[in-house]
A and B are shown apart, each in its own frame.
With several copies, the nearest count.
Chain A
């Protein structure tokens, strides 16, 4: 059953050095506040998993929290490159970053396999691509009925999945809606689940296109209004497109980046 905890306690209790951590949200409901708490607590040596690493992982990588990244598209959506991600991969700053790189279809299916507790998933994917040459988590299987060869991807089962949602009730049942991305799968694939929410309510009113994670699948809920900023929570906040554009110059330069993180993350709370 989910405990309702402060973000600080929840992160300290659930996320440890060396963990494999998935922080999901497909451009919507990205758990930025939780990432900032991870940075403040100095948790490190993480294997970070995420389809679209995005500004949230640019920050974690730039602060040296990650030793490995599992992903399928690493850019600042609609803006350009992730400079901290590139600097880590190209120059090893602030530390080298190992990569396990997939396509979106492959990553989505890795989570599906993880949520289903199967060791792998099958898809029609990667055919002719060089991606399998660089990944040990892409292989093939042969259909026992037709003889066709298909791609196989290894399940992802994070130690911890962190997501942001619109709301939870006091029992810790979580509800999210709008672009629901791969959050259900990422949560169900993990050993531990931390959810930050915009609001804690007495009762979860049913909503169209909503995903509900029952309390007994969640480890902790933390009440963090606007916890997705600069991403957003449909019905509560709007996407701060200007921040995403501003991130480009902030993150281009190591010192500018560090100064920004110091001011807005390390010294905030």
Chain B
């Protein structure tokens, strides 16, 4: 997926001059969401940036696990791909790909799974397979499932991080690649999914969290300078908004410095 980046300070939603970009705030916020987690199954791109940032700031003991087979990687720069040699060189252990999926992920040992998505619906279900482009055109092809269905099924909880747009946040998925909360409360248990599923969808505009009663995503937090209307506008379904919507703490200087140092080795894209 080649997302358009939202990476210039000047492009901040309210036009105010800030020394951080919405993308940076999204990543910083995603890193903060790892607070209290011990182990994280990391997808490449935004999740990798956030997980590495967490390890560089508040969570030095966070164990990063990549589907390429590394347990406890400690890269000094952001890897472009999950196959970067540094992930293996700095790991506590390197295991085979079948082992990482069977003994480590499936076994429910990982606290947090970190996922991106092409399309997400109100129950945080994910499509990364195909896009319906209308009756006269062939389906648009996305990369496919990768590790996502089993990451979302087996991790203790799931964080999602993706940019906010009506193209990404849709009324109805064209294809369910990965189940978040299915069609609502109780669905995960009925399907036999182990973990609690998505607990936050962190975007460049704010944060959505599932309502504990209905499992539907609710806007609970907006980023500084963003309005609730901007978020509902960028969402393809009638987005529910929490009674009291918080405002994200801006990145601290320490967070920004750590993130930029990590990225100086090369900007990872989705």
CB under 8 Å from chain B, chain A span 21-74: 26-28, 51-52, 71-74
Q: In the docked arrangement, what's the CA distance between A231 and B80, Å?
A: 12
Tell me the smallest distance from the CB of A219 to a CB of chain B, in Å.
14
Q: What is the number of contacts between chain A and chain B, taking CB atoms within 8 Å?
A: 216
Asked if A125 CB lies within 8 Å of chain B CBs, one says yes
Q: Does A124 contact B80, Cβ atoms closer than 8 Å?
A: no
Q: In the docked arrangement, what's the CA distance between A234 and B97, Å?
A: 17
CB under 8 Å from chain B, chain A span 129-161: 129-131, 148-149
Residues of B within 8 A of A179 (CB): 68-70, 83, 85, 87-88, 94
Q: In the docked arrangement, what's the CA distance between A78 and B141, Å?
A: 17
Residues of A within 8 A of B101 (CB): 104-105, 108-109, 123
Residues of A within 8 A of B79 (CB): 78
Selected from B44, B69, B71, B138, the residue in CB contact (under 8 A) with A26 is: B69
Selected from A78, A184, A214, the residue in CB contact (under 8 A) with B269 is: A78
Q: Does B129 contact A131, Cβ atoms closer than 8 Å?
A: yes
Asked if A232 CB lies within 8 Å of chain B CBs, one says yes
CB under 8 Å from chain B, chain A span 66-97: 71-75, 77-82, 85-86, 89-91
CB under 8 Å from chain A, chain B span 139-160: 139-141, 143-150, 153-154
Q: Mark B113-136, 1 if CB is under 8 A from A, else 0.
A: 000000000000000010000000
Q: Does A85 contact B141, Cβ atoms closer than 8 Å?
A: yes
Q: In the docked arrangement, what's the CA distance between A238 and B178, Å?
A: 34
Q: Mark A152-188, 1 if CB is under 8 A from B, else 0.
A: 0000000000000000000001000011111011001
Q: Does B69 contact A104, Cβ atoms closer than 8 Å?
A: no
Q: Does B175 contact A105, Cβ atoms closer than 8 Å?
A: no
Residues of A within 8 A of B63 (CB): 214, 216
Residues of A within 8 A of B23 (CB): none
Main secondary structure of the interface of A (DSSP, over half): loop
Residues of B within 8 A of A108 (CB): 97-98, 101-102
Q: Does A27 contact B146, Cβ atoms closer than 8 Å?
A: no
Number of interface residues of B (CB under 8 A): 67
Asked if B96 CB lies within 8 Å of chain A CBs, one says yes
Asked if B21 CB lies within 8 Å of chain A CBs, one says no
Asked if B177 CB lies within 8 Å of chain A CBs, one says yes
Q: Does A217 contact B268, Cβ atoms closer than 8 Å?
A: no
Q: Does A28 contact B85, Cβ atoms closer than 8 Å?
A: yes
A108-B101, A179-B70, A238-B85 known; A77+B80 contact, CB < 8 A: yes
Selected from B68, B102, B176, the residue in CB contact (under 8 A) with A181 is: B68
Asked if B31 CB lies within 8 Å of chain A CBs, one says no
Q: Does B191 contact A103, Cβ atoms closer than 8 Å?
A: no
A51-B97, A212-B93 known; A104+B150 contact, CB < 8 A: yes
Asked if B167 CB lies within 8 Å of chain A CBs, one says no
Q: In the docked arrangement, what's the CA distance between A78 and B269, Å?
A: 5
Residues of A within 8 A of B129 (CB): 101, 130-131
Selected from A26, A103, A104, the residue in CB contact (under 8 A) with B83 is: A26
Q: Which residue of B lies closest to A109 (CB)?
A: B98
Q: Does B96 contact A90, Cβ atoms closer than 8 Å?
A: no
Other contacts beyond A131-B177, A211-B96, A216-B39: 12, CB < 8 A: A51-B97, A78-B45, A78-B268, A79-B80, A80-B269, A130-B176, A131-B145, A178-B88, A179-B69, A179-B70, A185-B96, A216-B63
A–B pairs, 27, beta carbons within 8 Å: A27-B82, A74-B143, A77-B83, A78-B269, A80-B1, A80-B2, A89-B141, A103-B145, A104-B101, A104-B147, A104-B150, A105-B101, A105-B150, A109-B102, A112-B98, A115-B102, A125-B153, A126-B149, A127-B179, A127-B193, A148-B192, A178-B85, A179-B68, A181-B69, A184-B96, A212-B93, A248-B2
What residues of chain A have their CB less than 8 Å away from a CB belonging to chain B?
26-28, 51-52, 71-75, 77-82, 85-86, 89-91, 101-105, 108-109, 111-112, 115-118, 123-131, 148-149, 173, 178-182, 184-185, 188, 209, 211-212, 214, 216-217, 231-232, 234, 238-239, 241, 244, 248
What residues of chain B have their CB less than 8 Å away from a CB belonging to chain A?
1-2, 38-39, 44-45, 63, 67-72, 79-85, 87-89, 92-94, 96-98, 101-103, 105-109, 129, 138-141, 143-150, 153-154, 175-179, 182, 187, 191-194, 266, 268-270
